[in-house]
């Protein structure tokens, strides 16, 4: 009986691992010097926006890559959520700069 239990447990673990390997983990892109040149925004501003996105937005929401949403859609989300997330005006602006550069315009 014990050996049958171990077989079931190992089968469940193997099934779980195989399902997990099919899920692709995609990292949210950190801003680069190239992004800063293209956007005309200083790299530290884009990095602060990235930090706001990773800290505040992903705290409650499913992870979404910036380029999967248009910038106008991001602006709507930011307008709606900034107060609820307790963002300062500077954090809100930094977030807009980051998403503006990395979104699907």
Residue 35 lies in a domain: yes
Residue 52 lies in a domain: yes
Give the chain's count of helices (H) and strands (E).
Answer: 6, 0
Q: Is the pTM of this model over 0.75?
A: no
Residue 98 lies in a domain: yes
Segment 27-68, tens digit of pLDDT = 789 999 999 999 999 999 999 999 999 999 888 887 778 888
Residue 81 lies in a domain: yes
Q: Regarding predicted confidence, which is higher, 82 or 22? A: 82
Number of domains in the chain: 1
66 in Cβ contact with 31 (< 8 Å): no
Q: Regarding predicted confidence, which is higher, 71 or 10? A: 71
Q: Which residues contact 101 (CB under 8 A, 6 or more apart)?
A: 31, 35, 38, 39, 41, 46
Residue 71 lies in a domain: yes
79 is in which domain, residue-wise? 29-102
Identify the band that residue 18 occupies on the pLDDT scale cut at 50, 70 and 90.
very low
């Amino acid at each position: 009986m014990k050996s049958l239990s171990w077989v079931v447990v190992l089968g469940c673990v193997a099934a779980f691992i195989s399902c997990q390997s099919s899920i692709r983990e995609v990292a949210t892109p950190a801003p680069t010097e190239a992004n800063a040149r293209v956007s005309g925004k200083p790299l530290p501003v884009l990095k602060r926006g990235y930090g706001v996105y990773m800290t505040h937005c992903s705290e409650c929401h499913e992870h979404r890559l910036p380029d999967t949403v248009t910038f106008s859609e991001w602006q709507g989300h930011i307008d709606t959520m900034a107060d609820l997330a307790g963002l300062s005006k500077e954090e809100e602006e930094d977030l807009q700069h980051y998403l503006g550069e990395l979104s699907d315009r």
